[in-house]
Chain A
Amino acid sequence: MPGPLVFPAHVALHLLVALLLPPLVPGLIAKVKARMAGRTGPPVLQLYHDLAKLARKEAVFSRTTTWVFLAGPVATVAAGLVASLLVPFGHTPAPVAFEGDAVLFAYLFGLARFLTILSALDTGSSFEGMGAAREAAFSALAEPALFLGFAALAKATASLSLTPMLLSQGLAAGRLTGPLILVLAAWAIVYLAENSRIPVDDPNTHLELTMIHEVMVLDHSGRPLALVLYGASLKLVVLGALLIDPLLPATGRGWLDWLVFLGGLGLLAVAVGLVESATARFRMTKVPQFLVAGVLASAFAFLLLLV
């Protein structure tokens, strides 16, 4: 494996994309959903305006909260940004790549989840406790699905670093096609669950009792809320890169690879929007079954690689 750091120009571009692009993705999803419902919908750049507005607003804190209340938003963004350094954006290697970075990648999101749950519990509200409990329970099923997917890809590419694992040539051809489809199906389930999308969670619902992720951040306002929203969009991009990387064609030219990646990300956002428009949310008791399907798919992918 070459040194951990590669081409500074790409690193700079990688950082810029990770920092600036994310708020575009939720805007795109919302636009697709609005079009599908026959509405005009908010502008695609709406989240940028929201973030700018929230950054100027005063935050309101409940009397029960402590510093832990702020740890959730901070950790979401910090862990998301560090995780973005580990995942390749398209066919450009990630800025940092080493053996075992896949484990660190997954555990960084674990860290963000842990502190988000704690900041929800810090408010003492039973609604937020309910959401936190659901998040903790569902992620316990999403985690094995993610790791079994890593195991299958590591087996197929004989590597445990995200860059070679996701960008290995010929992954989408020959006898690896079947397992790859299964892994990506499992990860698509994980993607929808981790980003609290329909059919697992509805980001736009108005009944707190049925929310998972949104209800955890009910009490956040002002700058903390800005970080929460930005962190969520960052997660859409970073986990999205995981999902689309193996499918992107390698062009061999740096700038074209970036364009392909951005196009792929756009298509992913459209696909999420279409799924959200076309399906209804599962009943809460069905969600674990949906996630177990993800675990089984990735386990089956691994078994296919053994024969």
Chain B
Amino acid sequence: MSPYLLAVFLAAVSGLPGLFLRRRGGAVAAGLLGLAAVLGIGAAVRVLAGGGSGQARLPAAPLGTAGLLVLDPVAAWFLLPVLLVSACGALYGLGTWEEGRPGARFLRLAYGGLTAALALLVAAAHPLVFLLGWEGMAIAAFALVMMEDRHPETRRAGWIYLVCTHTGTLCLFAAFALLPAGAGPFAAFPAGFAASGRGTALFLLCLLAFGAKAGVMPLHLWLPPAHAAAPSHVSALMSGVLIKMGILGLVRLLSWVPDPPVWWGGVLMGLGVLSGVLGVAFALGQHDLKRLLAYHSIENIGIILMGLGLGSLGRSLGHPVVAALAFGGALLHVLNHGLFKALLFLAAGSAVHAAGTRDLDRLGGLGRRMPWTSAAFLVGAWAICGLPPLNGFVSEWLIYLGAFRAMAVSRWAWSAGLLAALALIGALALACFAKAFGAVFLGAPRTPAAEGVHEAPRGMLVPMGVLALACGAIGLAPALLVPALDRGVAALMPGPARPSLGGLASLPLLTGLALVLLGVALAFAVWLRPRRRTGDLPTWDCGYGRPTPRMQYTASSFADGPVSGLRWALLPRIHDARPGGLFPSPARYESHVPDPVLDRVADPALRRSARGLALLRVAQGGQLPVYLLYVLLTLLALLVWMVV
């Protein structure tokens, strides 16, 4: 059996031994997932390193027909974060979901199932296998989101997720019915198909299905509540990997098309800019740490879509260099976001677990008591803001290069819009993560709960360390990934022109400058290191001697500038009860940024339509004679129809 299939199998059964063991079921599951990760990542690395023909076709016999699962470079590229994040999450889960907690066995079972479904999905080369993996993923993820279903908000999040994912699956069924290859394995489209009416319908349906899964802006409504409700290591897997399956679908679609129409790229890029800018803007308005991270997933999906759209445009208009840079950036960002978003969710989960609240304005000062968790979150925040020398910078830099190249080779004005959008997203993400890190880990504890925290156990810190190291390694030596990335990009650009990223981007120079930066920083850090710390001194608060922690600037205040600047898009709800009169009542101030689609459109619209549909309930009286009457009437109608 090939290592890849063994990895899928191990992941699928990882939760089973725990059902029969009284203790250590979690350790066994984590061990099996770790083994699966080693095997699967080994197989993926071999494919990405060009082992054999670059395509490891799986032995067909055990699976029925040939070509059900093909571990090609794209599949291998997506497999890397799936297995790495899953194994790290399982190890982390041991710490939060300790033995004996109700549901721990079920959680392990569903978690292993989700991993197996994801690993199956990436290599699916046949519509049926794809749908199998897709549904397996959807149902396992639903079960995981509902783990804490004693909270009404969790139940709500779970149902919203289920409805959204099944609407997407429905679109996917329709899309696969339109494939030119019929019910056979996935194959490249004939030339001219993409521009036809059927091709257009296929593209739009895929956009709906994959966009809803990825959390592209108007279709993202399930994402923030589900990520906030799920256990943290599940959020890490969902945000880091699961939503990337929507991107995988779009990548597959683009790889089948020999001649993508220009408007495909335009639509992808437009959606990318919308998701990117609005995702980070809504993240700025959040008070819930995990919802904030969820909105950042929408933002990063936007960045990936910008890359895919730009690449598709580059192909349509015959600029392979632009396409290679943009696709390379998008693919690298898929991996990068998987790593740093999982890291952020794990670190945030530790903070939330320790302090017992997700509310940013009730945390604070955790960094003193949880130095390692705080450092892990800082690394994740650093990377997600796209700051050098970590991995987020490299992928964003490649997309920047693609946009600049696009501008140089043509009269494309929109690429300047892309640049401005990327710059704005970068600056707002920086503000948002300064807010999140500052509010949670810096300053003084705002509540007693935040004061009594303890550092997470080593089992939870190790997975974070692994992910942080991976972020640092990709950031410091991106050139090492170029051959693998080139093979992924080649899948997206069928045809003779295959520029290598190694020749396009000066990645080794980035490494050199990153080392200079670290060296200089280290030298100054040594120079600054205090020989001794003088006494127990307060913060200088401009002459005021007794500042209390509640006087600190809150996360909401920190974000107030950008949020009120983006009022027209965010539409924050502000309840401001000011004191007045001779005997003033206590003042209150609250502000919320409700989700634009879920809370403002979908929820009211569905409520109203539910009221309208209640009229149909008359027909469902629950009385047997009435139903028999329906049967009779139907039969009569059929009889009349057949006779006439």
Interface residues of chain A, those whose CB is within 8 Å of chain B, are: 4, 58-66, 68, 70, 73-75, 77-79, 81-82, 85, 96, 98-100, 103-104, 106-108, 110-111, 113-114, 117-118, 121-130, 132-134, 136-137, 139-144, 146-148, 150-152, 154-155, 158-160, 208, 218-219, 223-224, 227, 288, 295, 299, 302-303, 306
Q: How far is the CB of A208 from chain B (nearest CB, A)?
A: 5
* Contact, CB under 8 Å: A110 / B420: no
Most chain A Cβ neighbours within 10 Å, of B374, B393, B415, B431: B431
Q: How far is the CB of B232 from chain A (nearest CB, A)?
A: 23
Interface presence of B591 (CB below 8 A): no
Q: How far is the CB of A123 from chain B (nearest CB, A)?
A: 5
Interface presence of B385 (CB below 8 A): yes
Chain A residues, CB < 8 A from B513? 82, 85, 96, 104
Chain A residues, CB < 8 A from B364? 124
- Whether A104 touches B539, Cβ cut-off 8 Å, given contacts A132-B558, A133-B558, A299-B416, is no
* Contact, CB under 8 Å: A219 / B557: no
Nearest to B424 among chain A residues (CB) is: A144
Interface presence of B210 (CB below 8 A): no
Interface presence of B516 (CB below 8 A): yes
Chain A residues, CB < 8 A from B538? 62-63
- Report the separation of the CA atoms of residues A118 and B387 in the bound assembly, to the nearest whole angstrom: 14
* Contact, CB under 8 Å: A100 / B397: yes
- Complex interface: stretch among B25-33, B213-221, B547-555: B547-555
- Report the separation of the CA atoms of residues A4 and B506 in the bound assembly, to the nearest whole angstrom: 10
Interface residue total, chain B, C-beta cutoff 8 A? 79
- Report the separation of the CA atoms of residues A63 and B533 in the bound assembly, to the nearest whole angstrom: 9
Chain B residues, CB < 8 A from A158? 408
Chain B at the A interface: SS class: helix
Q: How far is the CB of B506 from chain A (nearest CB, A)?
A: 4
Most chain A Cβ neighbours within 10 Å, of B411, B415, B521: B521
* Contact, CB under 8 Å: B416 / A139: no
* Contact, CB under 8 Å: A143 / B387: no
Other-chain contact of B528, A64, A65, A141, A227 (Cβ < 8 Å): A227
Chain A residues, CB < 8 A from B524? 73-74, 77-78, 227
- Complex interface: stretch among B155-163, B435-443, B485-493: B435-443
Other-chain contact of B560, A111, A133, A223 (Cβ < 8 Å): A133
* Contact, CB under 8 Å: B378 / A68: yes
Q: How far is the CB of B73 from chain A (nearest CB, A)?
A: 25
Tell me the residues in window 551-567 of chain B with beta carbons closer than 8 Å to chain A beta carbons. Answer: 551-553, 557-562, 565
* Contact, CB under 8 Å: B431 / A146: no
Chain B residues, CB < 8 A from A60? 534, 537
Other-chain contact of B423, A75, A121, A146, A218 (Cβ < 8 Å): A146
* Contact, CB under 8 Å: B552 / A147: no
Interface presence of B641 (CB below 8 A): no
Interface presence of B400 (CB below 8 A): yes
- Complex interface: stretch among B52-60, B197-205, B365-373: B365-373
- Report the separation of the CA atoms of residues A158 and B444 in the bound assembly, to the nearest whole angstrom: 51
Chain B residues, CB < 8 A from A160? 401, 404-405, 408
Other-chain contact of B558, A62, A74, A107, A136 (Cβ < 8 Å): A136
Interface presence of B428 (CB below 8 A): yes
Chain B residues, CB < 8 A from A136? 427, 430-431, 434-435, 558, 561-562
Most chain B Cβ neighbours within 10 Å, of A70, A82, A130, A208: A82
Interface presence of B643 (CB below 8 A): no
- Report the separation of the CA atoms of residues A60 and B536 in the bound assembly, to the nearest whole angstrom: 10
- Report the separation of the CA atoms of residues A283 and B562 in the bound assembly, to the nearest whole angstrom: 17
Other-chain contact of B537, A4, A62, A82 (Cβ < 8 Å): A62
Other-chain contact of A140, B443, B527, B562 (Cβ < 8 Å): B562
Tell me the residues in window 501-531 of chain B with beta carbons closer than 8 Å to chain A beta carbons. Answer: 505-506, 509-510, 512-513, 516-517, 520-521, 524-525, 527-528, 530
- Report the separation of the CA atoms of residues A137 and B368 in the bound assembly, to the nearest whole angstrom: 27
Interface presence of B386 (CB below 8 A): yes
- Whether A62 touches B388, Cβ cut-off 8 Å, given contacts A151-B404, A155-B407, is no
Interface mask (B351-390 → A, CB under 8 Å = 1, otherwise 0): 0000000000000110110010010001000100111100
- Report the separation of the CA atoms of residues A113 and B431 in the bound assembly, to the nearest whole angstrom: 10
* Contact, CB under 8 Å: A124 / B549: yes
Chain A residues, CB < 8 A from B438? 117-118, 121-122, 129, 132
- Whether A99 touches B528, Cβ cut-off 8 Å, given contacts A127-B542, A144-B424, A160-B404, is no
* Contact, CB under 8 Å: A129 / B509: no
Other-chain contact of A98, B424, B509, B540 (Cβ < 8 Å): B509
Other-chain contact of B388, A104, A117, A124 (Cβ < 8 Å): A104
Other-chain contact of A100, B368, B431, B444, B505 (Cβ < 8 Å): B505
Closest 4 CB pairs between A and B? A129-B553, A121-B438, A124-B443, A137-B561
- Report the separation of the CA atoms of residues A165 and B395 in the bound assembly, to the nearest whole angstrom: 23
Chain B residues, CB < 8 A from A62? 537-540
Interface residues of chain B, those whose CB is within 8 Å of chain A, are: 364-365, 367-368, 371, 374, 378, 382, 385-388, 393, 397, 400-401, 404-405, 407-408, 411, 413, 415-416, 419-420, 422-424, 426-428, 430-431, 433-435, 437-439, 442-444, 505-506, 509-510, 512-513, 516-517, 520-521, 524-525, 527-528, 530, 533-534, 536-542, 547, 549, 551-553, 557-562, 565
Chain B residues, CB < 8 A from A77? 520, 524
* Contact, CB under 8 Å: B540 / A133: no
- Report the separation of the CA atoms of residues A110 and B393 in the bound assembly, to the nearest whole angstrom: 11
- Report the separation of the CA atoms of residues A306 and B505 in the bound assembly, to the nearest whole angstrom: 26
Q: How far is the CB of B178 from chain A (nearest CB, A)?
A: 39
Seed contacts A74-B524, A110-B386; 8 additional CB < 8 Å A-B pairs: A59-B528, A124-B444, A133-B561, A136-B558, A136-B561, A148-B419, A159-B408, A208-B542
Nearest to A63 among chain B residues (CB) is: B536
Q: How far is the CB of B1 from chain A (nearest CB, A)?
A: 45
Chain A residues, CB < 8 A from B368? 64, 66
* Contact, CB under 8 Å: A98 / B534: no
- Report the separation of the CA atoms of residues A106 and B393 in the bound assembly, to the nearest whole angstrom: 11
| 6 pairs, A vs B, C-beta closer than 8 Å | A61-B530, A64-B443, A64-B539, A65-B539, A100-B397, A129-B553
- Report the separation of the CA atoms of residues A219 and B539 in the bound assembly, to the nearest whole angstrom: 7
* Contact, CB under 8 Å: B419 / A64: no
Q: How far is the CB of B175 from chain A (nearest CB, A)?
A: 37
- Report the separation of the CA atoms of residues A275 and B617 in the bound assembly, to the nearest whole angstrom: 74
Chain B residues, CB < 8 A from A128? 553
Nearest to B367 among chain A residues (CB) is: A66
* Contact, CB under 8 Å: A68 / B387: no
* Contact, CB under 8 Å: A64 / B444: yes
Chain B residues, CB < 8 A from A100? 397, 400-401, 404, 505-506
* Contact, CB under 8 Å: B420 / A299: yes
* Contact, CB under 8 Å: A148 / B426: no
Chain B residues, CB < 8 A from A218? 540, 542
- Whether A82 touches B419, Cβ cut-off 8 Å, given contacts A100-B400, A140-B428, is no
Most chain B Cβ neighbours within 10 Å, of A62, A142, A299, A303: A62
* Contact, CB under 8 Å: B442 / A148: no
* Contact, CB under 8 Å: B551 / A126: yes
